[in-house]
Amino acid sequence: MTLKPLNDLQIHAIDQAHIWHPYSSLSQPLPTYHVTSAHGIRLTLGDGRELIDGMSSWWCTIHGYNHPQLNAAVITQVEKMSHVMFGGIIHEPAAQLTQRLVDMTPEPLSKVFFSDSGSVSVEIAIKMALQFWQAKGRAEKNRLLSLRKGYHGDTFAAMSVCDPETGMHHLFNKVLQQQIFSESPRCRFGEDWQQDYLADFERQLSTHKDQVAAVILEPIVQGAGGMWFYSPDYLEGVRTLCDKHDVLLIADEIATGFGRTGKLFACEWAGISPDIMCVGKSLTGGYMSLAATLCNDKVAAGIGESEAGVFMHGPTFMANPLACAVATASIDLLLASDWQGNVARIEAQLAEQLAPCKTYDTVADVRVLGAIGVVEMKDFVDVAALQKRFVDAGVWIRPFAKMIYVMPAFNIEAADLSKLTAAIVAVLSC
- Strand duo 42-45 + 248-252: pairing: unpaired
Q: Known catalytic residue: 141?
A: no
The rounded distance, in Å, linking the Cα atoms of 412 and 317 is 32
Decide: 306 and 135 in contact? Cβ < 8 Å. yes
CB atoms < 10 A from the CB of 352, how many?
Answer: 12
E strand or H helix that includes residue 332: helix 321-336
List of long-range contacts for 41-44, beta carbons under 8 Å, 24+ apart: 41/65, 41/408, 41/409, 41/411, 41/412, 41/416, 43/396
Cis-peptide into 68, omega within 30 deg: no
The rounded distance, in Å, linking the Cα atoms of 247 and 201 is 13
- Catalytic-labelled residue, pool 65, 151, 197, 234: 151
Helix pair angle (321-336, 92-104), 10° resolution: 40
Q: Known catalytic residue: 151?
A: yes
Decide: 170 and 176 in contact? Cβ < 8 Å. no
Determine the distance from the C-alpha atom of residue 157 to the mean position of all C-alpha atoms in its chain, rounded to a whole number: 16
- Catalytic-labelled residue, pool 141, 149, 263, 281: 281
Q: Known catalytic residue: 252?
A: yes
The rounded distance, in Å, linking the Cα atoms of 125 and 216 is 9
What are the distances in angstroms from CA 87 to CA 12, 84, 120, 222, 315? 41, 9, 18, 35, 10
Helix pair angle (321-336, 68-78), 10° resolution: 150
The rounded distance, in Å, linking the Cα atoms of 184 and 197 is 10
Decide: 370 and 269 in contact? Cβ < 8 Å. no
- Catalytic-labelled residue, pool 116, 163, 233, 252: 252
Angle (CA) 58 64 69, round 5°: 130
Decide: 116 and 290 in contact? Cβ < 8 Å. yes
3-state secondary structure (DSSP) of residue 38: strand
Sign of the Cα torsion 5, 11, 17, 18 reads positive
Sign of the Cα torsion 358, 186, 118, 74 reads positive
Q: Known catalytic residue: 287?
A: no
> Where in the sequence numbering do the catalytic residues fall?
23, 151, 252, 281
